[in-house]
C-alpha cells in the first residue's frame, strides 16, 4: 500500500471509531427538533419537509446565527402563524449553564450541560488590555488520549460532542456577554477568537468539529473568520491534512517534547504518530504561511523537557517552518505528579527559541484559581477516594 492509501485507511478507522462515541440525536423528549447545529442544506431539508419554501431556511439562519434569537416569536420577518407552526416542530437550543465561575483575573469558566446530562467546560479568556478575548471550546466529553500532565486525560471519554453542542458553547458564551447580533466580519468583538483547546481531541471528533466550524465561519451568521479559529491537536497525523484543506483554520500542535522516548511517555499518541511524521504533517499543512504560523505548544515540566539542549533540539526540529512556540508553564491539578519549570529555566528556553527567529511567548496562566487554565478542565465529578 502506498503512503496515501495507508493514510486514507487510517483516516477511515479514526472516523469509524469516532462514530462509536456519537452524540445522541438533537431532539427534545416532546419530539421537537433543535435547529442549531444543522448545516444550511439540512435546514433547507427541514423546511421542505415542513412544506415551507427554501428561502425560509435563509431567514432562519439569519435569526439564529446573526441575531442570536432563541424564540420564534422574536422573528419579525416571519408571520405569526408560521412562527407558531415552527415553534410546534422545532426549538433553537442552548446548553444549560450548570455552573458559571469568574476568576480574579476575569477569566470565566462555564460548565455547560446537555440534554443527556453530560457536561463540558468552556472558558472565556479576556485580553488583559483590549476589549477582546478567546473562547476555549471543548470537543469531547473526556478524552481517550491520557496525556500524563493533563487533567482532562484522567476523565475517560464519555462521548463526542455534536456540532450543535460545539456551536452551542460559543453561542451560550455570547449570550452571557450579550454579544448579539453578530458583529460584521472584521469589526471588533468581545468574543473575538475561538481556540479548540478545551476538553478532548478535536481531530478524534473531526466530522462534528468540522460541521460546527463551518457554521461559525458562515458569512451570513456568526461570521468568524478562519483566521480567528485555532484547532489544537496532540498530533492525529492522518486528520491534519483534511482539516487543513477543508477548514483552513490555524493549527496548534501540542509538541511538549523533542525526543520520541520522552514524547511517547508524555503524549502516548506519539507511539502511533512519532515526531518525524508529526512535523512532516505540519510542513504539509496548507494554511501555514509567514502570516499564519503554526503554533507549537510546549508545556514546561521541571527537569523533564526544559533544558537548553531541548530548546536547541526544538529549533532544529522546526527549522524552516513558519512557526511560533507557546511555552506553557505546567498548571497543576489535584493529584498531578509534575512540577512546573523554574522561571529562570523558562526564560533561558524562551531566549534560545527566540534567538533562532521564532516568537516564543510564555503563556501566563489564566483562571488558575477556578481551575480554568490549560489542562485543568474536567467535568466529571471527582470521586471521594
Ligand atoms: N487535545 C488537544 C486540545 C486540548 S489541550 C491537544 O492536546 O492539543 C490544550 C493544551 O493544553 C494542549 O497543548 C495541552 O497539551 C495543554 N495542557 C494539558 N495539560 C496541561 C497542564 N496541566 N498544564 C499546561 N498545559 C497543559
Ligand atoms: Fe486529551 Fe489534549 Fe489532554 Fe492530551 S492534552 S489528554 S489530547 S485533552
> What CATH number does residue 42 fall under?
1.10.150.530
Categorize the per-residue pLDDT at 173 as very low, low, confident or very high, splitting at 50, 70 and 90. Answer: very high
The model's pLDDT over 96-134, given as tens digits with 9 standing for 90+, comes to: 999 999 999 999 999 999 999 999 999 999 999 999 999
Total domains, the chain: 2
**333 Cα nearest atom in ligand 1:** 22
Domain closes at, from 91, 108, 132: 91
Residues 194 and 232 in one domain: yes
**152 Cα nearest atom in ligand 2:** 3
Q: Are 307 and 342 within 8 A, CB to CB?
A: no
Residues 174 and 290 in one domain: yes
Residues 359 and 346 in one domain: yes
Q: Are 375 and 332 within 8 A, CB to CB?
A: no
**Of 46, 52, 118, 121, catalytic:** 121
Residues 50 and 177 in one domain: no
Read off the pLDDT of each residue in 258-284 and give the average, rounded to a whole number.
97
Listed in sequence order, the DSSP H helices in the chain are 3-20, 40-49, 55-61, 80-89, 163-176, 206-217, 237-246, 260-266, 275-284, 308-317, 343-355
User: How confident is the model at residue 373, as a pLDDT?
Assistant: 81
User: How confident is the model at residue 187, as a pLDDT?
Assistant: 78
Nearest CA to ligand 1 atom 19: 375
Residue 258 located in a structural domain:
yes
Nine-digit cell at 313?
533540539
Residue 383 located in a structural domain:
no
User: How confident is the model at residue 377, as a pLDDT?
Assistant: 82
Residue 3 located in a structural domain:
no
Q: Give the structural domain span for 214.
A: 96-370
Active site residue 150: no
Nine-digit cell at 3?
503512503
Active site residue 121: yes
Nearest CA to ligand 1 atom 18: 375
Check if 234 has its Cβ closer than 6 Å to any atom of ligand 1: yes
Check if 145 has its Cβ closer than 6 Å to any atom of ligand 2: yes
User: How confident is the model at residue 171, as a pLDDT?
Assistant: 98
Nine-digit cell at 116?
443527556
Residues 76 and 152 in one domain: no
Residues 110 and 84 in one domain: no
Check if 305 has its Cβ closer than 6 Å to any atom of ligand 1: no
Q: Does the predicted TM-score (pTM) go above 0.85?
A: yes
Amino acid at each position: 500500500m502506498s503512503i496515501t492509501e495507508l493514510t486514507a485507511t487510517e483516516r477511515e478507522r479514526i472516523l469509524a471509531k469516532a462514530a462509536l462515541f456519537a452524540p445522541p440525536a438533537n431532539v427534545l423528549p416532546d419530539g421537537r427538533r433543535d435547529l442549531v447545529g444543522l448545516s444550511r442544506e439540512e435546514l433547507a431539508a427541514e423546511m421542505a419537509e415542513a412544506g415551507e419554501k427554501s428561502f425560509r431556511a435563509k431567514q432562519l439562519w439569519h435569526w439564529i446565527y446573526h441575531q442570536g434569537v432563541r424564540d420564534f416569536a422574536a422573528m419579525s420577518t416571519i408571520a405569526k402563524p408560521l412562527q407558531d407552526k415552527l415553534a410546534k416542530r422545532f426549538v433553537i437550543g442552548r446548553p444549560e449553564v450548570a455552573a458559571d465561575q469568574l476568576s480574579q483575573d476575569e477569566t470565566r469558566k462555564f460548565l455547560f450541560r446537555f440534554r443527556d446530562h453530560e457536561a463540558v467546560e468552556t472558558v472565556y479568556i479576556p485580553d488583559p488590555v483590549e476589549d477582546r478575548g478567546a473562547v476555549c471550546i471543548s470537543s469531547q466529553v473526556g478524552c481517550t488520549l491520557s496525556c500524563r500532565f493533563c487533567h482532562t486525560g484522567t476523565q475517560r471519554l464519555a462521548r463526542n460532542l455534536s456540532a450543535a453542542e460545539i456551536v452551542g458553547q460559543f453561542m451560550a458564551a455570547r449570550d452571557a456577554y450579550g454579544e448579539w447580533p453578530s458583529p460584521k466580519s472584521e469589526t471588533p468583538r468581545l468574543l473575538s477568537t475561538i481556540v479548540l483547546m478545551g476538553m478532548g481531541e478535536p481531530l478524534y471528533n473531526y466530522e462534528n468539529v468540522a460541521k460546527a466550524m463551518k457554521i461559525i465561519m458562515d458569512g451570513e451568521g456568526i461570521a468568524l473568520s478562519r483566521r480567528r479559529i485555532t484547532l489544537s491537536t496532540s498530533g492525529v497525523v492522518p486528520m491534519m491534512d483534511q482539516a487543513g484543506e477543508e477548514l483552513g483554520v490555524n493549527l496548534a500542535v501540542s509538541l511538549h517534547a523533542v525526543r520520541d522516548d520522552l514524547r511517547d511517555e508524555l503524549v502516548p499518541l506519539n507511539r502511533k504518530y512519532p515526531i518525524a511524521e508529526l512535523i512532516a504533517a505540519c510542513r504539509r499543512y496548507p494554511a501555514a504561511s509567514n502570516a499564519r504560523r503554526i503554533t507549537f505548544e510546549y508545556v514546561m515540566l521541571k527537569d523533564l523537557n526544559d533544558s537548553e539542549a531541548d530548546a536547541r533540539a526544538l529549533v532544529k526540529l522546526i527549522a524552516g517552518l513558519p512557526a511560533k512556540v507557546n511555552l506553557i508553564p505546567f498548571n497543576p491539578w489535584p493529584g498531578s505528579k509534575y512540577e512546573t519549570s523554574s522561571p529562570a529555566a523558562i526564560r533561558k528556553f524562551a531566549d534560545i527559541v527566540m534567538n533562532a527567529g521564532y516568537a516564543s511567548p510564555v503563556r501566563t496562566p489564566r483562571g488558575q484559581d477556578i481551575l480554568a487554565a490549560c489542562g485543568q478542565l474536567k467535568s466529571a465529578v471527582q470521586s471521594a477516594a
